[in-house]
C-alpha cells in the first residue's frame, strides 16, 4: 500500500453522482423558497423585518441540510484500487 489513490481513477462514481444530484436539488429548493419572499420585479413581498427573518430562516434551514456523509472509507478505496 503506497498511501495514495491513483488520480486517473474515479473511486466512487456513483457516490460522486449522488452528491452532485443532492447538491443540485438542494440549491433548486433554496432558490424556490427564496422566490416565495420576492415579487416578480424583485421587491420584497413582506415588510423589511419580516422579509429579513424569512430569508434568514430559509438560509438557516438550507445550512442545516448541507451535511452529506459518505458511506465509504479510504480503506474501501485502497481495497478497490488494489492497494490494500
In a domain, 8, yes or no: no
* pLDDT (mean) for 27-42: 90
In a domain, 62, yes or no: yes
Output the pTM of the full model: 0.54
In a domain, 81, yes or no: yes
pLDDT at 2: 56
Q: Where residue 65 falls among pLDDT bands split at 50, 70, 90? A: low
* pLDDT (mean) for 47-53: 93
In a domain, 60, yes or no: yes
* pLDDT (mean) for 19-34: 86
In a domain, 2, yes or no: no
pLDDT at 68: 53
- pLDDT > 90? residue 23: no
Q: How many domains does the chain have?
A: 1
Domain that holds residue 59: 13-19+46-84
Give the separation between CA 25 and CA 27, rounded to whole angstroms.
6
Give the separation between CA 49 and CA 46, rounded to whole angstroms.
8
Amino acid at each position: 500500500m503506497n498511501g495514495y489513490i491513483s488520480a486517473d481513477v474515479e473511486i466512487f462514481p456513483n457516490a460522486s453522482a449522488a452528491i452532485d444530484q443532492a447538491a443540485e436539488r438542494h440549491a433548486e429548493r433554496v432558490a424556490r423558497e427564496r422566490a416565495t419572499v420576492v415579487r416578480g420585479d424583485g421587491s420584497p413581498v413582506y415588510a423589511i423585518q419580516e422579509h429579513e427573518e424569512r430569508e434568514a430562516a430559509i438560509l438557516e434551514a438550507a445550512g442545516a441540510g448541507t451535511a452529506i456523509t459518505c458511506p465509504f472509507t479510504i480503506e474501501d478505496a485502497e481495497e478497490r484500487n488494489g492497494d490494500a
